[in-house]
Amino acid sequence: MLILAASVSSLAVVYLHSVKAREEAAAPNENVGPVTQAPVVPEKPAPVENTQPPAAPPPASKPVAVPASPTQAAQNRPAENRQVPNPGVPVAALPAGGITERPAPSKGDLVFVIDDVGYNLRDLEPFLKFSGPLTLAVLPGLSFSAEAARRIRAAGKEVFLHQPMEAVGGQDPGPGAIRTGMSREEIRALVNRNLDEIWPVAGINNHEGSRITQDEDAMETILALCRERGILFLDSRTTAETAAPKAARLLGMSIGERDVFVDNVQDRESMIGYINTGLARAGRNGSAIMIGHVWSRGLAPLLSEMYPGLREQGYTLVPASTVIGGTKQ
């Protein structure tokens, strides 16, 4: 209950902060950060050109405010192309005329990967309308796989192949899945076919796969194919026993690893809590990769609602390819 209250409070703080900054054109209070379950290690030092003293910290105890409804927030949301000062721009370079807003120090890169695209176009649409960068992972062999990939690219978002792989539980991962017992050549032919269906893509991440990702030989085959085709691999980490990091080391490749699933529980407060966990990770590590699902009804509106506040706090949304290293030369 305490955690839930903290999450609700956090959203309210982010939201209220966002409104306050717009209404007053005041300097964002960069110390109004997310309330998270884990302590947040101090972020990178502020840029040297930022010579103004830090804003006062929030009061130690804040009343738990009821967050605004998504509708209200949407009405108050700034236009999608609203310009926010680049964190690297010195204060002196900002236009004159009483603007006191100053750039927040960078708190890290946030990646949102939206999985399980391809069953329909209806669920995809709200994510395509999201004004920031997103990576959308498309399942192969479905009625709308190819069309979804085309629309994602047309919307300026990044496409990954969401490669189905066998899970420990034995559930059906769907068409085009890598299964135990397949030869290297069978895996290569299958993944190549899946890639070609929705090509061009920036990378692959696994759908399910708690059994296959434990198979070092299979993961080496997949990673080697990624390198051949010049694309990235993101380990969704559906098992702690994943062999993907070891296979990557053997091949001298860098892969991405999922930090947080943002919709394991899909109610609004839970998703806010998961995202706040991701923010804390980004604060510690410089970036965080968060995975959600296209069928999570409240996720696209929540991301749109939180996006302006995240930017004002100094987070940068980027596509997955920005933080995944690829091949080390």
How many residues of this chain bind Zn ion (CB under 5 A)?
A: 3
CB of 62 to Zn ion, least distance (A): 37
Q: 197-236: which residues touch Zn ion (CB under 5 A)?
A: 207
CB of 237 to Zn ion, least distance (A): 12
Binding residue for Zn ion (CB under 5 A) from 116, 158, 197, 305?
116
Torsion angle, alpha carbons of 74, 75, 77, 83, to 10: 140
Report the residue closest to Zn ion, judged by CB: 207
C-beta of 17 vs 207, nearer to Zn ion = 207
C-beta of 85 vs 278, nearer to Zn ion = 278
CB of 172 to Zn ion, least distance (A): 12
Residue 289 CB partners (closer than 8 Å, separation 6+):
111, 113, 234, 256, 257, 258, 259, 260, 320, 323
C-beta of 15 vs 160, nearer to Zn ion = 160
C-beta of 110 vs 142, nearer to Zn ion = 142
CB of 116 to Zn ion, least distance (A): 5
263, 287 contact by CB (below 8 A): no
C-beta of 115 vs 312, nearer to Zn ion = 115
Span near Zn ion by CB under 5 A; candidates 21-29, 111-119, 176-184, 265-273? 111-119
Calpha distance 108→280 (Å, rounded) = 9
Exposed (0-12), middle (13-18) or buried (19+): which is 103, by Cβ within 10 Å?
buried
Q: 293 by DSSP, 3-state: which? A: strand
CB of 18 to Zn ion, least distance (A): 31
241, 214 contact by CB (below 8 A): yes
C-beta of 109 vs 116, nearer to Zn ion = 116
Residue 52 CB partners (closer than 8 Å, separation 6+):
27, 91, 102
Span near Zn ion by CB under 5 A; candidates 6-14, 30-38, 112-120, 311-319? 112-120
Q: Does 166 bind Zn ion (CB under 5 A)?
A: no
Q: 61-90: which residues touch Zn ion (CB under 5 A)?
A: none
Which candidate, 144, 142, 143, places its Cα nearest to that of 152?
144
Q: 90 by DSSP, 3-state: which? A: coil
**What are the backbone dihedrals phi and psi of residue 195, each rounded to the nearest 5 degrees, phi first?**
-60, -45
CB of 115 to Zn ion, least distance (A): 4
Binding residue for Zn ion (CB under 5 A) from 30, 43, 109, 115?
115
Q: Does 237 bind Zn ion (CB under 5 A)?
A: no
C-beta of 101 vs 257, nearer to Zn ion = 257
Calpha distance 324→255 (Å, rounded) = 6
Residue 181 CB partners (closer than 8 Å, separation 6+):
none
Calpha distance 140→148 (Å, rounded) = 11
CB of 220 to Zn ion, least distance (A): 22
Residues near Zn ion, by CB under 5 A: 115-116, 207
